[in-house]
Amino acid sequence: MSTVYTRPLGRLVEQLQRLPGVGPKTAQRLALHILKRPESEVQALAQALIEAKQQVGLCSVCFHLSAEPICDICRAPNRDNSVICVVADSRDVIALEKTREYRGKYHVLGGLISPMDGVGPDQLHVQPLIKRVSQPQVTEVILAISPSVEGETTTLYVGQLLKPFTRVTRIAFGLPMGGDLEYADEVTLARALEGRRELE
């Protein structure tokens, strides 16, 4: 395959192809596009890649992606210190932030418990979480972890550890908004039925 491209182009296509969601065709399209752009633009892209990699690390408090030792969310004075939302990944923080409904703090575990992948509680940022939650100002921990097999185990595990310190809640699972009951899939519907609540 690589003989089709002249060598530096082949290397670029190969590198692009390693990105998630990028197949051979997309990689080729992106590579050819990059070659067509002015050199300054390509420089900027290359620099952005390097800088992002070199400068972005993890927040020392919540383990969200951050260029500073402590991230913007943890430093924000107007955010609620008493609530911590626990998520698996930085992606989840971004998704929740987009709602603009949550004003508390976060804690990123950095994965889910999965013995198959060799991930146990020790590989996750669980100990720092316990330390944070043991502080008196924390009144609630919200577990916002997806309801997969691994997510469920992680939720239960973390929940058990935190319960002695504070109130622990988990987000609800069920029907998407604006969706008709009849269009919901069976698994979601069964799950929603399981998590039914008393009418208030």
The burial of 105, by beta-carbon neighbours within 10 Å (0-12 exposed, 13-18 middle, 19 or more buried), is given as: buried
Least distance (Å) between residue 191 CB and another protein:
10
Q: Are 111 and 89 in contact (CB under 8 A)?
A: yes
Q: Min. distance of Cβ 150 from another protein in angstroms? A: 7
Cβ neighbors of 191 (< 8 A, separation 6 or more) are 147, 173, 174
Question: For residue 181, what are its two tokens?
Answer: 């009951």
C-alpha span between 13 and 46 (Å, rounded): 15
Q: 14, 48, 49, 52: which is closest to 31 by C-alpha?
A: 14
CB of 149 to another protein, least distance (A): 5
Least distance CB 154 / another protein (angstroms): 9
Nearer to another protein, 49 or 190 (CB): 190
- Cα-to-chain-centroid distance, residue 25: 28
Q: Which is nearer to another protein, 26 or 153 (CB)?
A: 153
Please say which residue, 19 or 190, places its beta carbon nearer to another protein. Answer: 190
Residue closer to another protein, measured from CB, 8 or 24:
24
What is d(CA 177, CA 7) in angstroms, rounded to the nearest whole number? 51
| Shorter beta-carbon distance to another protein: residue 93 or 109 | 109
List residues binding another protein (CB under 8 A): 113-116, 118, 120-121, 149-150, 152-153, 156-157, 160, 185-187, 190
Q: How far is the CB of 161 from another protein (least distance, A)?
A: 8
